[in-house]
Structure 1
Amino acid sequence: MTVSPAVTKEKAGQTIKQHYPNYKIIVLNDDFNTFKHVIECLMKYIPGMNGDLARELTEQVHYEGQALVWVGPQEQAELYHQQLRRAGLTMAPLEKA
């Protein structure tokens, strides 16, 4: 998982640091993607994903209906979400973490 960069705001002479919000990538279960395809997609598009974690998340998608596969900054989340969707996975809309 990735840490978001900080945003600095000034308020009446004070500097207040706030973090950009993180976004969640959630893969949903469907009736047409195989375990193998989901595992391969997770390993291909999600940085740092290994085979064991990809299999565990794929099983969670299958048995629980969804799995949170990545959390991080919006720009990266949008890219990974789009890549997984284009690869045919069924995705929940991006949402703030």
Structure 2
Amino acid sequence: MSTETLFEEEVLEQKVAEHNLIVYNDDVNTFDHVIESLIKVCKHKPLQAEQCTMLIHYRGKCEVKVGEYEKLASMCTGLLDRGISAEVH
């Protein structure tokens, strides 16, 4: 394999994983609900979910997960079903 082919494969792999699941702050959901949702839907550890929730609250949004679009889209749907504002970029 040439160096150029290897580089193209690396770039392709990076493009596949470039999507972000973003959760937005709102005035409706409690900290506990968001933390619990991130643990159940996004498979966060409790501390990670708590840290993300604080960032959501104080910054207005947080990238809670990075990965392939299909996986993130299903997580996004799970969060939306729980009343949490989220989208995949």
Give your verdict on TM over 0.5: yes
Following TM superposition, the consecutive aligned residue runs of length 4 or more in structure 1 with deviations greater than 6 angstroms are none
Cα separation, partners in 2 of 1:21 and 1:54, compared to 1, 3 Å: closer
How far apart, in 2, do the equivalents of 1:21 and 1:40 lie? 25
Please give the secondary structure, in 1, of the residue aligned with 2:78.
helix
- Of the three residues 36, 47, 55, the one matched with 2:32 is 36
In the alignment, does 2:59 pair up with 1:64?
Answer: yes
Aligned to 2:47: 52
Q: CA deviation at 1:21?
A: 4.3
Q: Calculate the aligned-residue CA RMSD, in Å.
A: 1.5
* TM-score where L is the length of structure 1: 0.75
Aligned to 2:88: 94
How far apart, in 1, do the equivalents of 2:77 and 2:38 lie? 12
Q: CA deviation at 1:35?
A: 0.2
* Structure with the higher fraction of residues in helix conformation: 2
Query: Which stretch shows the higher mean deviation, 20-29 or 80-89?
Result: 20-29
In the alignment, does 2:18 pair up with 1:22?
Answer: yes
* Structure with the higher fraction of residues in strand conformation: 1
Task: Tell me if structure 1 keeps the 8 A contact 2:17–2:66.
Answer: no
Please give the secondary structure, in 2, of the residue aligned with 1:38.
helix
Q: Deviations over 1:7-61 (max 9, x none)?
A: xxxxxxx7842222431001000000000000000000113x1111111110110
